Amino acid sequence: MFISRNRLVSDVIGASASALCFIHCLATPFLFVAKACSAACCSHEGVPSWWKTVDYIFLFISFIAIYYTSKSSTMNWIKYILWSAWTLLFVGLLNEILQLLPLPESFIYFPAVTLISVHLYNLKFHRNHKENCCV
């Protein structure tokens, strides 16, 4: 019972954190526009430092959720997709800092949506598996 409950919690947290991360990524361009429109002069470039910190908070929460989901998941392919999507998300955030590759801003959306989808799929599979195995 503990493992199944743990998986349920980690999938809900993972899907929620990924969804909030996705919303955060979508809101960033609007923050740029709002800042540009409200500033009389461009003395501060970019977004506030606290806004960029949110990226790393979501990345950390996603890491923990994927760790617990992969520990309790019975399907190996889900583990590989979750870790691959997280790695792409990490590389995308790292690339924003270091500017190593000319990646579009929308690059980050793919791993975020993948994390949401796979966590929700795993959550649904877990419920269906629990109903079918215990009958």
123 within 8 A of 29, measured Cβ to Cβ:
no
Of residues 24 and 67, the one with the higher pLDDT is 67
pLDDT of residue 43: 42
Number of Cβ within 10 Å of residue 129's Cβ equals 13
Quick: pLDDT tens for 78-114.
999 999 999 999 999 898 888 898 988 788 889 988 9
pLDDT of residue 34: 56
The structure's pTM equals 0.67
Whole-number average pLDDT of the chain: 77
Q: Domain count for the chain, please give it.
A: 1
pLDDT above 50 (res 15): yes
Q: How open is the CA angle 114-119-124, to the nearest 5 degrees?
A: 125
The band of 48, judged by pLDDT with boundaries at 50, 70 and 90, is: low
Domain that holds residue 23: 2-133
